[in-house]
Amino acid sequence: MIAFLLAAIPPVPTPPSLFTPTPAPISERAVLESGLGDAAARAKTLGGTLGVTIVDITTGATSSIGGDANLPMAGVQHLPIALLVYRAIDAGHLAMTRDVHGLLSRMLDNDDDGAADTLLDQLGGSEAANAQLRAIGYQAIFLVPNDAGYATPAALAGLLSDIVQGKLLTAPSTKALLAQLSGVGAAPARLRAGFSNVALAHVPGTLSGGDGTNIATNDVGVASVNGRTFIVAAMLQGAHGSDASRDAIIAAIGQLAVRVTSLNP
């Protein structure tokens, strides 16, 4: 079961402290760098650009390739929207009514961009929502209606890491949000396939162009493997080929995180 650390947010929100990673053991670092390089090469053969950030919360180590690239989020932007909704609830600006709960469920469980836009409106619109993200320290996540926002993998990994560690929400809201993410069944061939038989809380996103091309194949999630908790933000932009070929690249990244835990048991 994912080891979620819960803590209440202070009355006045402050930017989360900068995450200072410690180096992974060399064997793990080499495996991660090699594996991410292979995944990026596979993406390139499909004409795509891959951005990945992996954070091992247990050790503090990070690995990344293209982690600072601004890439389309598609449905992954539902994660920061959900965070802001729960923060508004914690602050007393919104109530968890049946309608709000239903919108959250449709947005997260069914990848419903209409529900996401309605929640954005309740937060004051995308400009107000983006200002709230800036106020708590997230400069590289930009919410846009119709799932047209963009972000860096590093920023999304940092956001989910801070959620998991209880830095952004009250304990009940942290637990509720992560429980919702654990129930997301969409995109089963991406991170869920990579973290096979491991509990995963995640938000996938897919965006196709009008001419049948793929704009984004993404997945951002958290899983605990062999006593260690990993955050993975994987974003694949512009890759051609079948859905299965794109999904397999994301799955391989999840498998990579699982593999490194066997190196230093």
CATH topology (fold) of 26-260? Beta-lactamase (3.40.710)
The Cα–Cα gap between 240 and 261 comes to 32
Ranges of the chain with pLDDT below 50:
1-19
Q: Describe the strand order of the beta sheet including 200-208 as a list of residue ranges.
A: 62-65, 49-56, 228-237, 214-225, 200-208
pLDDT at 26 (0 to 100): 62
Tokens of 60: 């503090």
The Cα–Cα gap between 157 and 170 comes to 20
pLDDT at 27 (0 to 100): 83
pLDDT at 213 (0 to 100): 76
pLDDT at 53 (0 to 100): 98
pLDDT at 1 (0 to 100): 42
pLDDT at 141 (0 to 100): 98
Sign of the torsion angle spanned by Cα atoms 48, 49, 53, 54: positive
DSSP 112: -
pLDDT at 212 (0 to 100): 66
pLDDT digit string, tens, across residues 13-24: 444 444 455 555
Q: Are strands 49-56 and 62-65 parallel, antiparallel or unpaired?
A: antiparallel
Answer for the pair 158, 18: CB distance below 8 angstroms, yes or no: no
The Cα–Cα gap between 88 and 169 comes to 10
Answer for the pair 119, 85: CB distance below 8 angstroms, yes or no: yes
Residue whose C-alpha is closest to residue 207's, from 81, 76, 51: 76
DSSP 76: G
The Cα–Cα gap between 167 and 177 comes to 13
pLDDT at 234 (0 to 100): 98
pLDDT digit string, tens, across residues 32-46: 999 999 999 999 999
Tokens of 263: 């190196």
DSSP 75: G
